[in-house]
A and B are shown apart, each in its own frame.
Chain A
Amino acid sequence: MNAVRGILAVAGFQLRRMLSPQRLVVAVAGAAFPAAVMLAARRIAGGLDRDFGVVLLYALVPEALCLLGLLVTMCPVVADELERGTWQHVVVRPGGRRSLLVGTFLAAVGWTAGVALLSLALTLFAAGLDDSPRLAGMFAVLVLLSCLGRAALFALPAVIVPKRALVASVGAAIVVEYLAGFLPAVVNQVTVSLRLRSLLVEWMGWRRNLPESLRLFVDDQPPVVQVAAVLVLTAVLLTAASLILAFRQFPPAEEA
């Protein structure tokens, strides 16, 4: 119970930090950007092919926007505390390290998912696609899974190299998600991008008509397995980050 309270305290505090006017402006701009791209694509193409629109929506919201949002909110989990001089206050509280990590994870997921869902609504409106409510539900799940998995992925560099977390996380996103994730090998099984792509293909009913060359980049397992895989991956990454943070020490000169 105490652990849950600590985690919720951090999540609430971090969300309040994120609710600054500057951050809200950035969030609204970020949410509007995919809609603007979709509108531009519609105008340039003189209309929008449904499948192309869905792929563009997938690339813009669950991938690009979620990644950017999590880079801003999850990566500085330790670096921000060191810079603000609050690290020492937090880690001397019982369970402070774990609460800081998990609470920030929840806040980052909540904030990014909120912005992404707003963006999803705007972009779907801009795209003018058929059966938007069904697409909205489907993409909402993809957004949530993307946020969970990627936030946990970014937690690792954030605790291992806090002062280079942003660069390391961009590197991790490129190497793990967009390099290993597209390798037709066992390694892509432990990436979020494979699971999200596979869900998209499955839910859009594209699997039957998928060219043989593209079948290498999606997984054949049913959706429930894909969702479970993301949740397990999230739990493993977050546990690993929590264990690393539990033993992390910073010389006094590095603080503040």
Chain B
Amino acid sequence: MISLHRATKLYGTVIGVNDLTVDLGPGAHGLLGPNGAGKTTLLGLVTGQLRPSMGRVTVFGERPFGNPRVLGRIGYCPAADLLEQQATPREWATYLVRLGGADSGTAVRAADRALERVGLGEAAHRPLKTLSKGMRQRAKLAAAIAHDPDLLVLDEPFIGLDPVARHDLVELVREWSRSRSLLVASHLLHEIEALDAGLAVILGGRLVASGTVEEIRGLIDTLPSEVRLAANRPRRLAEIACSSGLADSLRFEGDDGLVIGTRQPRPLAIALAAAAAREGIALATLHAADRSLEGVFDRLVQLHRGIGSARLERAKRLPAEADR
């Protein structure tokens, strides 16, 4: 459905997307990355706002830039707030449907359906400037889906929303993704995780990981991680960690600190907590590396920035130091 082959987008000397190759099939996909990672540029390439400086971008088998056949099948909800003042959500959605070539009656009916679908039917006739941020976000979403696209592209759709509005929007988007394709860019990972979407992680304009949540977790399982604790008998806990077979390395910090290198931090942390309770060891702190998607994301960011590789090198050295 979406294919980028060695796609690069340059803004003068600034790189927006860097030699990126990825194929996304039909279904739901999350695009993760911190601010400035190149997510919006990538969405710009996919939605035909931008042309790649190098490489190739195709959507539904065709290049999207200036291609009405492709653009007619895409609905796009940008991150930027809609500052249109006078128009109502109904007028705005109708306008965008008519812009695609629909006649006035069809456009009005399509806009009404979309506004009902996003739960904005009652506020459809209020000027956009009088709506809350969450309602404007829904208005943008309604305008994006009103022409019944095959692919919905959302850029940071949850930004600036209160928890209730976020939850509602997640449910809306989930419901959409059951029948159509979806590409969501966000740095709010738990919402992406809630969408049951495939993931592509982008950093510095490059794709650093892609696959399902489980696949990316599997990837991270191959990387060294850490369990950090502070206890009154750290050496006893070190013995327990070694005997569990889960520890790759050990390092003592001060009189009570212990850092254990491991590829399975959560099982090791559980084992250590159980042992501490059993043997009456006072645990002041116990911290396992976060294995949630957010944790995975943080690790990928660290690796991309070279922090992870330095830690990897250190982890390789630690067993030898521990042996000595």
Whether both chains belong to one complex is answered with yes
> Using a CB–CB distance below 8 Å, which chain A residues touch chain B?
1-3, 5-6, 8-10, 13, 16-17, 20, 83-86, 88-97, 99, 246-247, 249-252, 255-256
Given contacts A89-B96, A251-B11, 5 further A-B contacts (CB under 8 A): A6-B99, A89-B140, A93-B71, A252-B41, A256-B83
Q: Which of A91, A92, A255 has the most CB of B within 10 A?
A: A92
* Residue from B68, B83, B99 in contact with A84 in the complex, judged by beta carbons closer than 8 Å: B83
Q: Which residues of A contact B50 (CB under 8 A)?
A: 249
Considering the complex, give the chain A residue whose CB is closest to the CB of B95. A13
Contact A94 B72 (CB under 8 A): yes
Contact B40 A252 (CB under 8 A): yes
Given contacts A1-B101, A84-B83, A86-B84, contact A92 B16 (CB under 8 A): no
Contact B80 A95 (CB under 8 A): no
Please report the C-alpha to C-alpha distance between residue A39 and residue B87 in the assembled complex, in whole angstroms.
40
Q: Which residues of B contact A91 (CB under 8 A)?
A: 48-49
Contact B47 A92 (CB under 8 A): yes
Q: Which residues of A contact B72 (CB under 8 A)?
A: 94
Interface residues of B in 37-72 (CB under 8 A from A): 40-41, 44, 47-51, 66, 68-69, 71-72
CB distance from A243 to the nearest CB of B (A): 11
Contact B11 A86 (CB under 8 A): no
Please report the C-alpha to C-alpha distance between residue A91 and residue B40 in the assembled complex, in whole angstroms.
15
Considering the complex, give the chain B residue whose CB is closest to the CB of A1. B101
> What sequence of 0s and 1s flags, for each residue 78-100 of chain B, a beta carbon within 8 Å of any chain A beta carbon?
10111110110001000110111
Contact B101 A95 (CB under 8 A): yes
Please report the C-alpha to C-alpha distance between residue A92 and residue B107 in the assembled complex, in whole angstroms.
17
Contact B80 A85 (CB under 8 A): yes
Please report the C-alpha to C-alpha distance between residue A85 and residue B47 in the assembled complex, in whole angstroms.
16
Contact B83 A85 (CB under 8 A): yes
Contact B49 A249 (CB under 8 A): yes
> Using a CB–CB distance below 8 Å, which chain B residues touch chain A?
11, 14, 16, 40-41, 44, 47-51, 66, 68-69, 71-72, 74, 76, 78, 80-84, 86-87, 91, 95-96, 98-103, 107, 140, 143
30 residue pairs A–B, Cβ–Cβ below 8 Å: A3-B101, A5-B101, A6-B98, A6-B99, A8-B98, A9-B107, A13-B87, A16-B86, A83-B83, A85-B81, A85-B84, A86-B84, A88-B76, A89-B96, A90-B99, A92-B71, A93-B71, A93-B100, A94-B68, A94-B69, A94-B101, A95-B99, A95-B100, A96-B71, A249-B44, A249-B49, A251-B11, A251-B16, A255-B80, A256-B81
Please report the C-alpha to C-alpha distance between residue A91 and residue B49 in the assembled complex, in whole angstroms.
7
Q: Which residues of A contact B86 (CB under 8 A)?
A: 16-17, 20
Q: Which residues of B contact A20 (CB under 8 A)?
A: 86
Considering the complex, give the chain A residue whose CB is closest to the CB of B143. A89
Contact B76 A92 (CB under 8 A): yes
Contact B100 A94 (CB under 8 A): yes
Please report the C-alpha to C-alpha distance between residue A3 and residue B102 in the assembled complex, in whole angstroms.
10
CB distance from A26 to the nearest CB of B (A): 16
Contact A92 B74 (CB under 8 A): yes
* Residue from A16, A94, A249 in contact with B71 in the complex, judged by beta carbons closer than 8 Å: A94
CB distance from A172 to the nearest CB of B (A): 26
Q: Which of A13, A20, A86, A93 has the most CB of B within 10 A?
A: A93
Please report the C-alpha to C-alpha distance between residue A3 and residue B99 in the assembled complex, in whole angstroms.
8
Considering the complex, give the chain B residue whose CB is closest to the CB of A89. B96
CB distance from B21 to the nearest CB of A (A): 21
Considering the complex, give the chain B residue whose CB is closest to the CB of A2. B101
Q: Which of B16, B84, B87, B101 has the most CB of A within 10 A?
A: B101
Contact B78 A88 (CB under 8 A): yes
Contact B49 A92 (CB under 8 A): yes
Please report the C-alpha to C-alpha distance between residue A16 and residue B78 in the assembled complex, in whole angstroms.
24
CB distance from A203 to the nearest CB of B (A): 40
CB distance from B138 to the nearest CB of A (A): 15
Q: Which residues of A contact B16 (CB under 8 A)?
A: 251-252
CB distance from B274 to the nearest CB of A (A): 50
Considering the complex, give the chain A residue whose CB is closest to the CB of B149. A92
Please report the C-alpha to C-alpha distance between residue A208 and residue B159 in the assembled complex, in whole angstroms.
71
* Residue from A3, A16, A86, A93 in contact with B82 in the complex, judged by beta carbons closer than 8 Å: A86
CB distance from A132 to the nearest CB of B (A): 38
CB distance from B182 to the nearest CB of A (A): 16
Q: Which residues of B contact A90 (CB under 8 A)?
A: 96, 99
Q: Which of A5, A90, A246 has the most CB of B within 10 A?
A: A5
Contact B82 A92 (CB under 8 A): no
Please report the C-alpha to C-alpha distance between residue A65 and residue B204 in the assembled complex, in whole angstroms.
51
